[in-house]
Chains A and B, each alone.
Chain A
């Protein structure tokens, strides 16, 4: 089976940096994805990690440690529009995605 865990909610201030953690237990690991989802909208792809280390894309970075079953999404220079849910998803066997519970981030002025 697969188990993915994320904090339920986080709050941060505009302009700050926030780190959203994701821990997972799965078999046949084949990649970890981060998605952003605004309320009532579809998830949009942010980043993908399959090897250990940091992937940077503008204000967003994602880190993976396969030995620890751990990833984080780092958001820098937070903006109000970053208020959303952030979903960690693990691809285990074949094309089967399993999503974590999601972290609702609120960015305050």
Chain B
């Protein structure tokens, strides 16, 4: 089973709203990732959690706040977003150790900020 699930599939929010994106995997992976992808562009890494600790923050604005409650769950809390934050938000997970450490992606959340 190489499934990563994400909810919701689509989200429309205003600039004053607070919302959260959720990601879950049950593959025993210890590394989880958030990416942002704009249309016709490659995914851009936002955050990496390794063994439930934030290990990489790629200079993401504070209006995006990640949280890793346990090794299977990853959240992205959104507050005071801007219209340019509209994008596909992808979650991925990997074993987190040596070897291929392939990342497996969830289906994404399509976010629209009005």
Contact = CB atoms under 8 A, between A and B. Distances in A.
Interface stretch (A59-67, A70-78, A98-106): A98-106
B42 A99 contact: yes
Contact of A41 (B31, B94, B103, B107): B107
A97 to B, nearest CB: 6
B55 A95 contact: yes
B56 A96 contact: yes
Interface in A47-105: 48, 50, 87, 91, 94-102, 104
Interface in B7-33: 31, 33
Given A31-B100, A48-B102, A97-B103, A42 B42 contact: no
A102 B42 contact: yes
A35 to B, nearest CB: 8
B56 to A, nearest CB: 6
B45 A96 contact: yes
A87 B103 CA distance: 13
Given A87-B42, A96-B45, A102-B42, A42 B102 contact: no
Interface string B37-54: 000111111001010000
A7 B40 CA distance: 13
Contacts, number: 55
Given A95-B94, A96-B48, A42 B105 contact: yes
Nearest to B31: A95
Contacts of B88: 40
Contacts of B90: 42-43
Interface of A: 31, 33, 35, 40-45, 48, 50, 87, 91, 94-102, 104
28 contacts: A40-B88, A41-B107, A41-B108, A42-B108, A43-B90, A45-B103, A45-B104, A48-B100, A50-B100, A87-B43, A94-B55, A94-B56, A95-B31, A95-B50, A95-B55, A95-B94, A95-B96, A96-B48, A96-B56, A97-B33, A97-B103, A98-B45, A99-B42, A99-B43, A100-B42, A101-B41, A102-B42, A104-B40
